[in-house]
Structure 1
Amino acid sequence: MALNKSIKYFLAVAKHGNIKRASDELYISQPSLTAAIKKLESEMGAPLFNRLSKGVELTAYGLKFREFAQEQQEHYFALKHQFNDMQQRQFGKVKIGTGEVWWEGFVKRSVMDYQAMHPASSFHLEFGNNLSLLHHLIQGDIDLFIGHEVSDLSDSCRVAFQPLFQDFEALYVSKNHPLASGITNNGVISDYPILRVTPNHPRHQSVLLNGLPHDELLDERIIYDVDSVMASIDMLHITQAVMPYSHRAQEWLTRHDLVAIHLDDEKIGNIGIYTKQGEAKRNVDELIELLKSNADIAYTNVNSL
């Protein structure tokens, strides 16, 4: 399958605004390209270009056709990418989703172990929050992802969850923060901005039965939303924000000069592996066993701050 030549030729002329330059890019003669454009205009029943003394410009019809042509081109390249991805998966490529803290904690070690066992294997790594990774899993963009168990999933989400361990929510600040030396009253925490790491986005809430919940307690609070853990660490050093995050990340975050000031042992999360139901693959199953083993090693008896 090839992209329709008429669309390819049209887009080249529209990009350059010049038949000669477009023909040079396409490696065809100028008369052949001119004839192809005239044929396309005849088929569409409308002029797509205005002919000028030094080139061409799109008409109103041409502008509309360009939208269609660009969409067709995007679909074509997306389909080629999907075909290539399917072929690579047949040869053992594994596509993994994870959060940055789990990557540092045990996923990286698992990928290294798998690579040592299968030197010819390849990986695609997707970083994001739970809902975005869940969306990618359902769409078939990844084979599995490691993250918190999501409650209130839509019935259309045909996924399986294998629990690995639990975590609590801790609060982190910069070592220079006024609260870094400790807090005697939890109420003072609300006096500071809150930093949310890789927060959920409304565009992914379709995977939830009742959509994203609204926290009224945050309505009067300054909030920083950051889609990167490393950038979040920088923001904590720049501002006086507090960051809710897994207590499992304490050792790693300490190396970045952050301090855990509070542990909420009532906010318990289950971390595990999500896969699509009914899609067993030997290479994925093998990686899952490595993930389980390395998670056990990384977090044995690490239950509190």
Structure 2
Amino acid sequence: MELRHLKYFIAVAEEKNFTRASERLFIAQPPLSRSIQQLEDELGVALFERGSRPLKLTQAGEFFFAHAQELLNKSKELKSMTQRVGQISKTLSIGFVASTMYGKFPKIIRLYRAKYSTVDLNLIEMSTMDQLRALKEGNIDVGFGRVRHEDSNIRRIILREEKLMCAVPIGHKLLELQRAVSAQDMSEDNLIVYPKNPRPSFADQVLNAFRDRAVEPKKITEVRDLQIAIGLVAAGEGIAVVPRSLQGMKRDDVVYLELNEKHAVSPIIMSVRAMDKSHEIQDMLNLIYDIYDEEGIPHTKESL
């Protein structure tokens, strides 16, 4: 079975007509019909109901159509990913979510550049979901995000779990508690979450944490990004749950409070293509673990 047979079959199935399919594929109708017949002979089943107008798929044809599309898509992803791996010695493109810039990510990039000066690093801010798509399309080589999402084409390594904190404006009533705050303590405030899109995102992690504790915030405001969320907190528009590293965003009008909620954490996840075991990426992973070891940051080591 050849990929061109899948391509031809999908075109006929979608157009429901051999003539329109041949025009779409820029081939004559006779060789297209022969290719479909060869495919049916190889499979030993009829894929189309002959004589039907418009052309209809048989039950076997409908099953094959669903899986043929998946196989063709995977072949396209494989092509782009392989091309990207072939170029990786020249440039390492890295996707990252904004919140990682307040943690160890800048140090990781700085030390990697110093140690591996022959590798050109290209940094691109993008959401976790956009990172997964960019990895499969060959547009980036590594992604650093926070959202757990399974994809058979992507290897995801949880580098560490970062504690969450509550960001409140100066003078907020929660400061009067003089202790770590709970989800229930925060329920009477306007909860500002980010990013608004695409979903799932860090916003869903925060909202799920409240749902898991059977707590419903009085009001929820969704905003585009982290900077807007903190700006609104500073303006007294509400509070936000943020990663602990955000304390690095120094402001005199925002205070960060500890949470007393168990398991109130957000993962930092490194994503790479499933079969990509290049030295450049392994070197980056090793460097991250060296930094964590040096600074006493709890983590579990994995290799590509």
Could you say which TM-score interval applies, normalised by the shorter chain? 0.5 to 0.7
Equivalent residues of 1:180, 1:261 under 8 A apart: no
For residue 246 of structure 2, the aligned residue among 245, 249, 256 is: 249
Deviation at 1:170, TM superposition (A): 2.8
Equivalent residues of 1:130, 1:147 under 8 A apart: no
Deviations 1:246-294 (A, max 9, x none): 3431353849xx7225235998989999799xx793664368659978x
Equivalent residues of 1:170, 1:245 under 8 A apart: yes
Q: Is 1:12 the counterpart of 2:4 in the alignment?
A: no
Q: Is 1:68 the counterpart of 2:103 in the alignment?
A: no
Give the 5 Å matches for 1:170-209.
170-173=165-168, 180=172, 183-185=175-177, 188-192=185-189, 198=202
SS at match of 2:11: helix
What is the CA–CA distance in structure 1 between the aligned matches of 2:49 and 2:230, rounded to whole Å?
A: 51
Q: Which residue of 2 aligns with 1:207?
A: none
Give the 5 Å matches for 1:34-45.
34-43=33-42, 44-45=44-45
Equivalent residues of 2:45, 2:60 under 8 A apart: no
Deviation at 1:114, TM superposition (A): 5.0
What is the CA–CA distance in structure 2 between the aligned matches of 1:141 and 1:32, rounded to whole Å?
A: 41
Equivalent residues of 2:22, 2:28 under 8 A apart: yes
Unaligned runs of 5+ in 1: 150-167, 202-212, 297-305
For residue 161 of structure 2, the aligned residue among 148, 158, 179 is: 148
User: Structure 1 length normalisation: TM-score?
Assistant: 0.56
Q: Is 1:281 the counterpart of 2:279 in the alignment?
A: yes
Q: Is 1:48 the counterpart of 2:48 in the alignment?
A: yes
SS at match of 2:46: coil
What is the CA–CA distance in structure 2 between the aligned matches of 1:92 and 1:231, rounded to whole Å?
A: 33
Q: Which residue of 2 aligns with 1:210?
A: none
SS at match of 1:118: coil
Deviations 1:66-113 (A, max 9, x none): 113113223323433443344344x25547575532235552565477
- Are the structure 2 counterparts of residues 31 and 118 from structure 1 closer, same or farther at C-alpha, using a change threshold of 3 Å? same
Unaligned runs of 5+ in 2: 123-139, 195-201, 295-304
- Backbone CA RMSD of aligned residues: 5.3
Equivalent residues of 2:18, 2:29 under 8 A apart: yes
Give the 5 Å matches for 1:50-129.
50-51=50-51, 56-89=55-88, 91=89, 94=92, 99-108=97-106, 110-111=108-109, 117-118=117-118, 120=120, 124-129=141-146
Deviation at 1:33, TM superposition (A): 0.8
What is the CA–CA distance in structure 1 between the aligned matches of 2:242 and 2:290, rounded to whole Å?
A: 22
- Are the structure 2 counterparts of residues 37 and 130 from structure 1 closer, same or farther at C-alpha, using a change threshold of 3 Å? closer
Question: Which of structure 1's runs of 4+ aligned residues deviate more than 4 A?
Answer: 49-53, 92-99, 112-116, 119-123, 144-147, 193-197, 213-217, 223-229, 234-241, 264-276, 286-293
Equivalent residues of 1:145, 1:273 under 8 A apart: yes
Equivalent residues of 1:172, 1:243 under 8 A apart: yes
What is the CA–CA distance in structure 1 between the aligned matches of 2:270 and 2:241, rounded to whole Å?
A: 23
Q: Which residue of 2 aligns with 1:160?
A: none
What is the CA–CA distance in structure 2 between the aligned matches of 1:42 and 1:234, rounded to whole Å?
A: 63
What is the CA–CA distance in structure 2 between the aligned matches of 1:75 and 1:182, rounded to whole Å?
A: 51
- Are the structure 2 counterparts of residues 145 and 290 from structure 1 closer, same or farther at C-alpha, using a change threshold of 3 Å? same
| Letter of the structure 2 residue corresponding to residue 192 of structure 1 | D
- Are the structure 2 counterparts of residues 115 and 31 from structure 1 closer, same or farther at C-alpha, using a change threshold of 3 Å? farther
